[in-house]
Structure 1
């Protein structure tokens, strides 16, 4: 294990388990409120974690009345949470398949402004016919096509962020000049899926390029991961499988001509902590809607914090991950279990670092130069 171990937490509604919203300690009346999201993110920030991942998708509501019927928009939630909770990065998922890149670039740039340079985004694809039907579109496309389109979206978004030079805003009230139009640039992008002229209608974000997090689980996604990811997430049900997934990601980054050592791979780990964790999991399973997928979708630890600390230590030492995204099965309790239980148990394996700069800097990344800058 070399370098600083990164720790993040996934905070989505009631948690990853489909029965969590009905469990002891949950408050269904607060799930779709800003206060709920602010509270759980504030708990994560108290622990000094690197970032919170806010999941999202375009999947339509289930027909089962026992299932949570919908979710809030993750980018909008991030924009509400970030100003209220300093000291932690915010990375919402944004589905790119049915969304114009111009709108995405504006939304994520705005998020980076309100987060004062602590924003990222996790582009994802829409894989199901049900999602396509919501938009009145044909589909779904093959994974390779979906990810080629996603790669194009990420490219366009990054170009739009650069379409304003850093000194484009003059803000000179006496002369009435707010913008130097010579510092705004057309991107003139023409690809397989999009043609975008630009420039953006939003200034360049504080980080220049907000952190791009991508999943590296699908073979079809790996070329896009190799070219565009700043940070990669993977799911694996064993440490050995995680090491193989990390190797695949690093190979894809190398094929793209980049240094694999600059792109950390974070392993998802589902968590339910405490002396009564096994009993609570049985309760969650019993409360879940009939036919619901009870997982695990990746490594899962149900038990005491010391056991989870040992698992993370072993995975890091086996070079299976450069860090972890901890995904509580139940919220809000799961956030506190991580901060107050796991973090002290990690000992010298991990320690919080001061959050003095941007989210990019947190991951050792500099602010990139503007590709269109003329001086």
Structure 2
């Protein structure tokens, strides 16, 4: 490990359902590249190891708030050349999405970011999501299996080109050596992928795959994101320790806690800020949450660093809390404990402290066996 891994969620206007009411731009500007790029660049300057971009195939539940959103891969691809160190991890749904398209899209993202791409795999079996993709709905009991298959297909596709497959031999007019490009021969429940990929092997070989802790039993995750519903710091650290240990015992690479954050800002206590937003739309508690001053958050993160591999922060209002995190939290935390710091030119795997990926996880070489 290279230190505590800090991530940040950059979807929408923030974790609070009424965050758009406290933002510095109009709701219409959410679907502009400027807002997406500004936030990603701020997260990079703050020193976050990675940023995630949430996504959903159905409209947000709050009909009073902004309804339009840009596709997560589109947002990630847009900010890729506008950043140089930040890991870029879009949410892509693995139940109803076309696995071949998922794999090639993400490989292209890895090229656009020079090896900083990742994938946060989602496994939502919602029938409305199926309709959005034009696919028949599947029961929730098989959703994780479908997502696991999509991950398997993508990983096989990423490795279907050997590292030296591209030869670009001008005298003979050959771009690639066909002997170094392999078929993957994958049979799913209702599809078959022969391969190989139409995109050469990504810079990282295998992009880091993130996912919820619930998927860790079915998918070899590089990063498992887990929740703890607790408001007491001591209880939070204790519960996080137990869950992180369980995830590591299953072979997960990194155990990363999700933590919602609302900070004191511009002389206004965080509790007052949250109360004002709650008057418009209550902020349901579904994961751990910190509300208070920056120094107290630094103390909590330092304590969590002793039991988890990383923390993904969900700022209540991005236009307020993200700036406070970069100004008053991350620098102070780095002065206290080792924190994974991305550097220009490093891959996301390097930043996360993951080993180089030359083979599929969980097998000596399943790709060779399928050839």
The verdict on a shared fold, with TM-score over 0.5 as the criterion, is yes
CA RMSD of aligned residues (A): 2.1
Q: Which residue number corresponds to residue 351 of structure 2?
A: 362
Q: Which residue number corresponds to residue 307 of structure 1?
A: 296
Q: Which residue number corresponds to residue 362 of structure 2?
A: none
Q: Which residue number corresponds to residue 255 of structure 2?
A: 265
Offset of residue 196 of structure 1: 1.0
CA contact (8 A) 1:117 1:206 kept: yes
Offset of residue 223 of structure 1: 1.6
Counterpart of 1:79 (choices 55, 77, 80) is 77
- Unaligned stretches of 5+ residues in structure 1: 254-259
CA contact (8 A) 2:49 2:342 kept: no
Offset of residue 48 of structure 1: 1.7
Q: How many residues align?
A: 352
Counterpart of 1:237 (choices 210, 229, 238) is 229
Q: Which residue number corresponds to residue 95 of structure 2?
A: 97
User: Where does 1:266-345 land on structure 2 (aligned, <5 Å)?
Assistant: 266-274=256-264, 275-276=267-268, 277-288=270-281, 294-317=283-306, 319=307, 321-345=308-332
For the pair 1:164 / 2:161, whether they are aligned, the reply is: yes
Offset of residue 287 of structure 1: 2.8
For the pair 1:177 / 2:174, whether they are aligned, the reply is: yes
User: Where does 1:30-109 land on structure 2 (aligned, <5 Å)?
Assistant: 30-62=29-61, 65-109=63-107
* 1:310-341, Cα deviation, whole Å (9 max, x unpaired): 11122233x2x211001101122221111101
Runs ≥4 residues deviating over 6 A = none
Offset of residue 99 of structure 1: 0.7
Offset of residue 213 of structure 1: 0.8
Distance 1:298 1:56, change over 3 A: same
Distance 1:169 1:87, change over 3 A: same
Alpha-carbon distance in 2 for matches of 1:363, 1:245 = 20
Counterpart of 1:223 (choices 217, 221, 227) is 217
- TM-score if structure 2 supplies the norm length? 0.89
For the pair 1:247 / 2:245, whether they are aligned, the reply is: yes
Alpha-carbon distance in 1 for matches of 2:246, 2:7 = 22
Alpha-carbon distance in 2 for matches of 1:60, 1:47 = 31
Offset of residue 24 of structure 1: 5.1
Distance 1:25 1:114, change over 3 A: same
CA contact (8 A) 1:23 1:287 kept: no
- TM-score if structure 1 supplies the norm length? 0.88
Alpha-carbon distance in 1 for matches of 2:41, 2:340 = 15
Is the deviation greater in 102-111 or in 331-340? 331-340
